[in-house]
Structures are given as structure tokens and as C-alpha cells.
Amino acid sequence: MPVGFLYTMGFIIALLLALAMTPLVKKFAFKIGAIDKPNHRKVHTRIMPRLGGLAIYIAFVGAFLAVSPFIPDGLLRPRDVNMINALLVGGTIIIILGALDDRFELSAKVKLLGQIAAACVVVFGFNVRIDLVNIPFGETMQPIAEWIGIPLTILWIVGVTNAINLIDGLDGLAAGVSGISIATIVVMASLMGFQPVILLSTLLLGGIIGFLVFNFHPAKIFMGDSGSLFLGFSLATLSMLGFKQVTIVSFVTPLLIIGVPLSDTFFAIVRRWVNKKPIFAPDKGHLHHRLQDLGFSHRRTVLIIWGIAAIFGVLAIIQSAVVQSSAANWITFAVICLLMFFLQLGAELTGIVDKTRRPLINFLARIGVRIAKVDTQQSRGK
């Protein structure tokens, strides 16, 4: 079977499985009491079924089992099979953890321990870890010691997993952002010819799109922690594994792939620190909350954030495409500077950290006033 046809069939199977399984999971969620009740922090006003991530997981695993007998010999190397098993086993632990939370609302400590356990399975059970890093303006790829690589890998997986969980606040938001990030990985892996990542990402993308049919506003089911944790774990693993074996890759690329959830998480930490609140205390200051406070509708808010995620994705693709050029380090540096500028500007415009503190906007305003004064003086001198 041609590889392209294999990927297409896998995508279609995952899509159809998600379309078929999501209504069944919805009924199952109501039956076992995995529901989300409205409160002062929620935007929905009626009881909603959770556990939607189970449908994505079933679609992903089911599609993989369906296409695996047709994978051509030699397409996957032993280390590729090891990587796939790491994602499947770790993802299974995460989906069980998330499903239990959707039903019983586990404590934050229990969920964190479960995420660390899943990350440790990937690292120690399958020996998958970050062992190379790109240092700007230095040699291309540098090996790093295990005592650094192991905790760095665990921190990356747990951090990204929670980042997706934090943005899951509106219908279709987390699923759409995750889908855009996965689509970005598909494009990049295709350009690099990394077959196992193309396969896994394509299957996962099919499951996400099928679920989004029922999750976009007005949602009929929420993905719950089962979905946000599973998608976060999958994104963390794929963004790390897909490109660490490429000869030259920038450290910026994986950050760009998941730029929206990571930046929202970063600003949430800063916001709580500035306001002297516990770092893990929930609030209504996330990007989607601020956009709604500015007057955007539910759907438009989601679409705006999807657009931002798409911009991050395009930057990641461009970054990976030029990373092998002689000017790669300078391009990376320029991308970082531009991102920092626009992230700060966006944070101040939306008030995601503080509604009153606007140092960059005030600085730009002062510069504008000075330029205007100079132009006025020059015109008078003439």
C-alpha cells in the first residue's frame, strides 16, 4: 500500500470513528455522571457531559490498529516502534487519569502525580528523552547529560500537558488549537520525511476534527480533562520526538508549535504572581476570558485564538524551513524578538496580566509624541 494512501485512510478511519463514538461517549458520560455543572467560573449555563477525550482516544487507537497491518516493511525502524509504543502506553495512562478526573474530580496533586508517572513511563520505560539541544550561535546540535535531559523531558511533557488543560475554557478552543498544532507537525514532519510522526499526527488530527463536529459552539459535549490532558500529552511527545532526531533543528520550533497554550500559561503565572495569588489558583484572566470581556462573541473569540495558533504554526514551519541556512541563528533571534514584542503588546492590549500596567504601550506612545514634536519643529523651521 502506498504510504500516502495509508495516511489518508488512517485519517478517514480516525475521523469516522470519532464521529461514531462521540455520541456514544456522550450517553456514557451522562450515565456514569461525568458531567460539568455551571458555576461562576464557567461560561456554559447548563449541565454538559464531559469525557469527550475518550472518543478522540478511541478514534486514534482504533485507526492505528486498523492501519498497522498495512504499514510497509522498513517504513518504521525499531526506535520508531519504540516511540509509538511510548505514546500509546503513556497516552493510555493519561486518558485513564483524565477520565477518572472527569467523573470524580481528582485533586490537583493526584493529577500531577499521574502526569509525572506517564512522563516517567516515556522516559524510563521506553528510553525516550531529550538528549540533543540546539544552542544559538554555537555548534548545531549539542548532546546533554542524562541528569539534565531526564528532568527536562519530564518537565516538558508535564508542562505542555497542563498548558492545553488551562486553555480548555470555551467550546472547541482546546481541540481546535491542538488540531492546528498537530496539523503544523504533519506539515513539518512531511517536509523532513519523518514517517512515524506523520502517521501518528495524521491519525490524531482525524480524531480531533471528528470530535470538533460535536464540540464547536454550541457544544454538545466537552472534551473534559480526558481530552485536554491526552491532547497535551500527545502534543508534548510528538513535538519533542518528531524533531530531536533531525540533524539541525532550532530549539524555538517546538515552542512555536504550541505557542498559544504556552504563552497563555506563562501569562497566567505572571498574572497570579503580580496579583499575589497562588500560582495554581484558577481565575478568569486567560486570553479567552479577556477577549470576551472586550466584547467578542463566544465563536469569534475561539476563531481569533485559532488564528493566533495558525500564525504560530506558520512561523514554526518557516523556522524549520530556514533553519539549515547560514543565517539560521539570526533568523531565530529575529523571530524570538518579534514574538516577544507582539506577545507583550497583545498582553497589554487584552489586559491578560494587568488591566492598568501598559509599559510597552506607554513607551511607544512617548516615542510617538517625541517624533510628532520633532516633525512639528522641523516643519516650523522650514
- Residues belonging to the binding site for Mg(2+) are 165, 225
Q: Are 22 and 224 in contact (CB under 8 A)?
A: no
Which amino acid is present at 41?
Answer: R
Q: Determine the Cα–Cα distance for residues 211 and 67; give it in Å rounded to an integer.
A: 20
Residue with cell 539541544: 133
Q: Determine the Cα–Cα distance for residues 121 and 113; give it in Å rounded to an integer.
A: 12
Contacts of 300 (CB under 8 A, 6+ apart): none
- Chain center to CA of 113: 20
Burial 68-84 (b: 16+ CB within 10 A, else e): eeebeeeebeeebeebb
Contacts of 376 (CB under 8 A, 6+ apart): none
Q: Which residue ranges make up the annotated binding site?
A: 165, 225
The sign of the CA dihedral 326, 257, 233, 267 is positive
DSSP per-residue letters across 9-34 = HHHHHHHHHHHHHHHHHHHHHHHHT-
Q: Determine the Cα–Cα distance for residues 208 and 56; give it in Å rounded to an integer.
A: 6
Long-range interactions of 349-355: CB distance < 8 A, separation 24+: 350/287, 350/290, 350/291, 350/294, 351/290, 351/293, 352/264, 352/267, 352/271, 352/285, 352/286, 352/287, 352/290, 353/267, 353/270, 353/271, 353/274, 353/285, 354/271, 354/274, 354/275
Q: Are 6 and 198 in contact (CB under 8 A)?
A: no
Residue 123: C-alpha distances to residues 81, 112, 232 (Å):
15, 16, 17
Contacts of 221 (CB under 8 A, 6+ apart): 22, 25, 26, 29, 48, 49, 50, 51, 52, 214, 215
